[in-house]
Structure formats: C-alpha cells, structure tokens
C-alpha cells in the first residue's frame, strides 16, 4: 500500500501572513493524521517563510507518525536536523526567490558535499532521501552518496496533459525501476492532486507520496481531516500493476 505523507507547510504560510499563532500547525498535523496521513512533512526553509524551528520541535515531540523534514544542505539546517532527529529527512534544492521547489536536487553535480551531509544525518539515526528528477545519473549519484531513498519529482508530470503527461509518467516508471534495482527505496511527490495522483500511486516500488498544496487547498472547503481522507482514498483506490 502506498502511504501519504501530508505536507503542512501552507498551514504555516497562512499563519505567517499575520505573524500570528493561528492556524496551529500541530492541530493541522493531528487533523491530517485523523484523516489517514501516515506521515507529516514540513520544509524548514533557510528564509523561514513558513515553517519555523519551534514548529519542527513540537511536531517531533507530539505526533505519533514519522516526521519528514525537507531541508537544504546548508550547514545551519543540517546541524538543526542532527539535533532534532526527525524520523526522515529529504534533501531538496532551495532558492530564495522561488515560490516553491522548482526541480530536483543536482546530486551528480555535488556528490561529495551531499555525501558528507547524508553521512551526518544517518549517524544521527535519520533515514535520508533525496528529491531528484527522474534521471538515471541522479539516481546513480543518489546511491553513491549513501541515501536510502529517492523522492521522484512529479512536478513535470503534474504540469503536462495528454501525450506529454503519459511520456513523463513512463519516465517516472523507468526511474522507479532503476532506483529499486540499485537498492534505493522510492517515494514521489510535487504537484499531485486528486485528479492525477492515481497513476503515480500505481508506479512500481513507490512507497510514499508527499502531498501538501492540493490537500490544504481542498481543506479550505471541506476541512483538513476530510481533505486528507479524500487523498488517502484516491491513493488507495489504485491497484499497482505487476512488473
């Protein structure tokens, strides 16, 4: 069964718009867990535009599902993660001017630097994944640096329609098969919603989908517990094809 990691960054985005204490990210995490999320994901950005250090600390202390910390390889963030020790960490690229993560991490282009970070996090007992585009050289590099998982970037798939989307889905499938053959676990995420998640959930060897924006947007109308439940149902209705 493919599991859902609920990203609650944009609950914090709304809170930070007023620098207030509501909406409360811990309350959001509890609602998502009640709706069926089997993990909570947050991205502690260097500019702290949404999730704050205190949010990560309280989530680590209070939730009873794995906390997945999306993070850059900046030394300050790596030190923080090593101290907090979330269950999982996903290394992602980060640019101050971007609205959201725009693509996968260039593992192949900075292998030695990333290998050091992966080693630090693993020594702290953290399971490490790398957010990458579905490209063979990035998958090979991910295995070389010692990551346990890759998270395949599904943003391009989510943007496309028709024939282009099918082509991108096949690229994701081949990437999942290749990663598995190299001994890597496979997750996926970015841009997924109720309409397009089913095909990704059917991909071979995918264990977890990390989804945030679409669920938080739907929660405006139906509440976070129900919005999470709808996504869990959309994932659960799919049947993975044999490979």
- Is 229 annotated as contributing to ligand binding? no
- Is 7 annotated as contributing to ligand binding? yes
- Is 185 annotated as contributing to ligand binding? no
The domain of 123 spans 3-236
Has residue 166 been placed in a domain?
A: yes
Q: How many domains does the chain have?
A: 1
Has residue 243 been placed in a domain?
A: no
- Give the global pTM: 0.94
Residue 194: per-residue pLDDT: 98
**Could you report the per-residue pLDDT of 64-110, keeping only the tens digit for each?**
999 999 999 999 999 999 999 999 999 999 875 555 556 899 999 99
For the chain, the average pLDDT equals: 95
8 Å CB contact between 216 and 40: no
**Could you report the per-residue pLDDT of 193-208, keeping only the tens digit for each?**
999 999 999 999 999 9
Has residue 76 been placed in a domain?
A: yes
Has residue 109 been placed in a domain?
A: yes
Has residue 242 been placed in a domain?
A: no
On the CB side of 127, CA atoms within 13 Å amount to 13
What percentage of the chain reaches a pLDDT higher than 70? 94
Active site residue 70: yes
Residue 89: per-residue pLDDT: 98
| 48-56 contacts at long range (C-beta below 8 A, 24 or more positions apart) | 49/13, 49/16, 50/9, 50/10, 50/12, 50/13, 50/15, 50/16, 51/9, 51/12, 51/25, 52/12, 53/80, 55/12, 55/25, 55/26, 56/80, 56/84, 56/86
Active site residue 190: yes
CA distance 17 to 50: 9
Task: Work out the number of other CB atoms within 10 angstroms of the CB of residue 53.
Answer: 12
**Could you report the per-residue pLDDT of 19-54, keeping only the tens digit for each?**
999 999 999 999 999 999 999 999 999 999 999 999
Active site residue 136: no
Has residue 176 been placed in a domain?
A: yes
Which CATH number is 213's domain given?
A: 3.20.20.70
Has residue 60 been placed in a domain?
A: yes
Has residue 68 been placed in a domain?
A: yes
Could you tell me whether strands 149-153 and 127-132 are parallel, antiparallel, or unpaired per DSSP bridges? parallel
């Amino acid at each position: 069964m493919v599991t859902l990691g609920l990203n609650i960054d944009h609950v914090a985005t709304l809170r930070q718009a007023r620098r207030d204490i509501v909406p409360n990210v811990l309350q959001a995490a509890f609602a998502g867990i009640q709706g069926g999320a089997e993990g909570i994901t947050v991205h502690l950005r260097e500019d702290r535009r949404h999730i704050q250090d205190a949010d990560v600390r309280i989530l680590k202390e209070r939730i009873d599902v794995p906390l997945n910390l999306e993070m850059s390889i900046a030394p300050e963030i790596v030190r923080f993660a090593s101290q907090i020790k979330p269950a999982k960490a996903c290394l992602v690229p980060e640019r101050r001017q971007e609205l959201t993560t725009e693509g996968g991490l260039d593992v192949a282009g900075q292998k030695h630097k990333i290998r050091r970070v992966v080693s630090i996090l693993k020594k702290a007992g953290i399971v490490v994944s790398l957010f990458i585009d579905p490209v063979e050289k990035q998958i090979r590099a991910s295995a070389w640096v010692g990551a346990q998982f890759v998270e395949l970037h599904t943003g391009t798939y989510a943007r496309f329609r028709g024939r282009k989307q099918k082509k991108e889905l096949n690229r994701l499938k081949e990437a999942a098969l290749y990663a598995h053959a190299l001994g890597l676990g496979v997750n996926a995420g970015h841009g997924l919603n109720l309409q397009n998640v089913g095909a990704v959930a059917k991909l071979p060897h995918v264990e977890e989908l990390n989804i945030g924006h679409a669920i938080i947007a739907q929660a405006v109308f139906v509440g976070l517990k129900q919005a999470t439940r709808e996504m869990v149902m959309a994932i659960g209705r799919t049947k993975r094809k044999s490979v």
